[in-house]
């Protein structure tokens, strides 16, 4: 009888010890995970949906990305393809109007992808994940081909702007955010913000609008709620 009680007591002790060890390991895992997140996880938090999505700001920045190059081309560079009318728009809306063009190599392989990267980052820099921002690149390309030029829409322009914009857009998004250290301040911080703006203008514009430019933030919580956590300065 005593042996049975002793065995039950030992089993109870082992059960309690296993529960305590499991809770300790879980707590250590949380701390470990937070360290990983704090070190290099802005992208992880964005992809997992922890950052608030700002659709209307993204839509506004996509519109800016459409109109700014058109205004420059039309009023400063004075190129002829920006002379649009309702007739050109109506023609370009027809699927039969799509025609392959013969733009220069630099235009097709850099100019269009760069423009597409602005469309892509209009959503990517406003809380949307990689896949969620992909449609912006193609939508921006379609709007430009249809409404911003008097030339027929070109499939090769649509492809280069769409896929090239995604590739270049994600590269510049990550690089620009790596350039800025949210824990630094002073001239070094401002220089990093300016360089990041030059690398990714849309991301820099977003930082200016939502108040992140130049502010000092808590390491982890600034990644989760970049527009809601008060500045430490």
Q: Per-residue pLDDT tens for 89-120?
A: 999 999 999 999 888 888 888 999 999 999 99
- Residue 171 pLDDT exceeds 90: yes
Q: What is the pLDDT of residues 15-29, one digit of tens each?
A: 554 444 444 434 444
Quote the pLDDT of residue 187.
87
Altogether, the residues listed in the chain come to a count of 233
Residue 1 pLDDT:
52
Looking at residue 27, what is its pLDDT? 41
pLDDT score recorded for residue 41:
47
CA distance 225 to 176: 19
For the chain, how are helix, strand and coil distributed in percent, rounded to 5? 75, 0, 25
| Per-residue pLDDT, 182 | 79
Contact 81, 70 (CB under 8 A): no
Contact in structure between 175 and 125 (CB atoms under 8 Å): no
In DSSP notation, 88-151 reads HHHHHHSGGG-------HHIIIIIHHHHHHHHHHHHHTTT--HHHHHHHHHHHHHHIIIII-SS
Query: Where in the chain are the domains?
Result: 52-224
Confidence at residue 122, expressed as pLDDT on a 0 to 100 scale: 96
Q: At residue 172, does pLDDT exceed 50? A: yes
Mean pLDDT of 38-67: 72
Between CA 13 and CA 94 the distance in angstroms is: 77
Mean of all residue pLDDT scores within the chain: 79
């Amino acid at each position: 009888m005593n042996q049975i009680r002793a065995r039950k007591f030992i089993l109870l002790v082992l059960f309690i010890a296993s529960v305590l060890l499991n809770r300790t390991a879980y707590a250590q895992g949380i701390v470990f995970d937070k360290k990983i997140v704090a070190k290099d996880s802005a992208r992880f938090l964005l992809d997992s949906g922890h950052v608030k999505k700002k659709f209307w700001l993204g839509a506004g920045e996509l519109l800016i990305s459409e109109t700014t190059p058109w205004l420059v081309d039309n009023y400063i560079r004075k190129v002829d393809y920006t002379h649009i009318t309702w007739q050109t728009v109506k023609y370009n809306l027809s699927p039969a109007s799509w025609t392959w063009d013969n733009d220069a190599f630099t235009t097709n392989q850099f100019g269009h992808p760069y423009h597409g990267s602005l469309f892509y980052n209009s959503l990517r820099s406003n809380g949307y994940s990689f896949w969620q921002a992909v449609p912006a690149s193609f939508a921006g390309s379609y709007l430009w081909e249809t409404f911003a030029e008097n030339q027929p829409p070109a499939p090769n322009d649509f492809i280069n702007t769409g896929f090239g914009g995604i590739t270049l857009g994600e590269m510049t998004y990550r690089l620009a955010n790596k350039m800025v250290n949210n824990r630094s301040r002073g001239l070094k911080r401002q220089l990093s913000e300016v360089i990041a703006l030059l690398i990714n203008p849309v991301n820099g514009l977003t930082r200016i609008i939502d108040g992140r430019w130049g502010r000092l933030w808590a390491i982890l919580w600034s990644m989760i709620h970049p527009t809601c956590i008060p500045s430490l300065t």
